[in-house]
């Protein structure tokens, strides 16, 4: 989200806000899904490549729901994060899904994750495909992915399927998904506009929820130099907007690690003075 300076146009047209809103509505109406789809319990974002859900069935999620997976240093924090979400969010859609919630089937107890290549690093072109299967019967759902990063995308999809209090989840469901683009990113310019560390972490968290995978961090430029370089401390001391607008090495490490735990690769851009 780079913000650059520029001159105003010589010609300015004043358009009432209501006219802009009406124009947007008219332009987007042909592309909106039918109302019936809004009542579906399967409204995953971004839309998966393949969704098979022959019957509108759902069943309860166990209050002791667990996630089993092979160990991965960045996947484990993601699993803990999603478990907290399942237990506390209790999302209620604006339009209640038209589903039949089974009272006879056992509660879903476990999500089992299988990863083919857990050692694959988060780099450009990494395989992020996954499949998610939730059967009508049985106590276990299955998430299969090539890499830990694909498993994170599958976890996000599963989290969007859980709703209500007590929580329910669609069953008899199969989803297969893969990204259309290897690079799906956001660029934030903290040279022209300083953002605190917590703001950056919140941005990365939102990116993960939308399955974006590259945070292009334009740290420095001619406008300011907010990065503390231990070998050259005067760069930040004299180049930052203020003493409280500087990123320390520990701040950078925290942001990079937070990105890894959300499946987002942090790509710093540092322009030399």
Q: Average pLDDT for residues 54-58, to the nearest whole number? A: 94
For 217-266, how does the pLDDT look when each residue is reduced to its tens digit (9 = 90+)?
Answer: 999 999 999 999 999 999 999 999 999 999 999 999 999 999 999 999 99
Q: Mean pLDDT across the stretch 55-84?
A: 97
Domains of the chain: 37-177 (3.30.379.10), 185-270 (3.30.750)
How high is the mean pLDDT of the chain? 89
Measured between its terminal Cα atoms, the distance across the chain in Å is 22
Task: Please give the pLDDT value at position 34.
Answer: 44
In whole angstroms, what is the distance from residue 170 CA to residue 65 CA?
Answer: 15
* pLDDT single digits (tens) 18-50: 555 455 455 554 444 443 344 566 889 999 999
134-182 pLDDT, tens per residue? 999 999 999 999 999 999 999 999 999 999 999 999 999 999 999 999 9
Instruction: Name the region of 5 (left: φ>0; alpha: ψ -120 to 50; beta: rest).
Output: beta
Contact 181, 78 (CB under 8 A): no
Per-residue pLDDT at 122 exceeds 50: yes
What pLDDT score was predicted for residue 197? 99
Q: What is the pLDDT of residue 23?
A: 55
What is the reported pLDDT for 249? 98
Average pLDDT over every residue of 48-63: 95
Give this prediction's pTM: 0.84
Burial 54-70 (b: 16+ CB within 10 A, else e): eebbbbbbbeebebebe
């Amino acid at each position: 989200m780079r913000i650059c300076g520029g001159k105003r146009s010589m010609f300015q047209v004043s358009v009432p806000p209501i006219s802009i809103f009406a124009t947007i509505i008219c332009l987007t109406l042909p592309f909106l899904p039918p109302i019936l789809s809004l009542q579906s319990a399967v409204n995953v974002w971004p839309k998966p490549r393949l969704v098979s859900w022959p019957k509108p069935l759902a069943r309860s999620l166990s209050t002791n729901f667990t996630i089993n997976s092979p160990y991965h240093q960045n996947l484990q924090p993601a699993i803990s994060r999603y478990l907290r979400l399942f237990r506390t969010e209790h999302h209620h859609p604006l339009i209640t899904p038209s589903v039949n919630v089974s009272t006879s089937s056992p509660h879903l107890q476990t999500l089992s994750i299988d990863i083919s290549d857990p050692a694959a690093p988060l780099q450009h072109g990494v395989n992020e495909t996954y499949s998610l299967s939730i059967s009508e019967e049985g106590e276990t759902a299955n998430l299969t992915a090539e890499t830990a990063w694909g498993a994170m995308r599958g976890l996000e999809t599963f989290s969007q399927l859980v709703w209500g209090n007590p929580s329910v989840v669609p069953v008899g469901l199969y989803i297969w998904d893969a990204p259309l683009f290897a690079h799906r990113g956001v660029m934030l310019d903290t040279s022209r506009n300083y953002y605190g560390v917590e703001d950056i972490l919140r941005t990365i968290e939102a990116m993960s929820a939308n399955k974006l995978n590259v945070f292009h961090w334009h740290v420095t430029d001619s406008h300011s130099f907010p990065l503390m370089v231990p070998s050259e401390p005067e760069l930040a001391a004299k180049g930052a907007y203020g003493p409280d607008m500087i990123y320390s090495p520990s701040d950078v490490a925290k942001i990079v690690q937070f990105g890894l735990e959300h499946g987002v690769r942090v790509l710093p851009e540092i322009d030399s003075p």
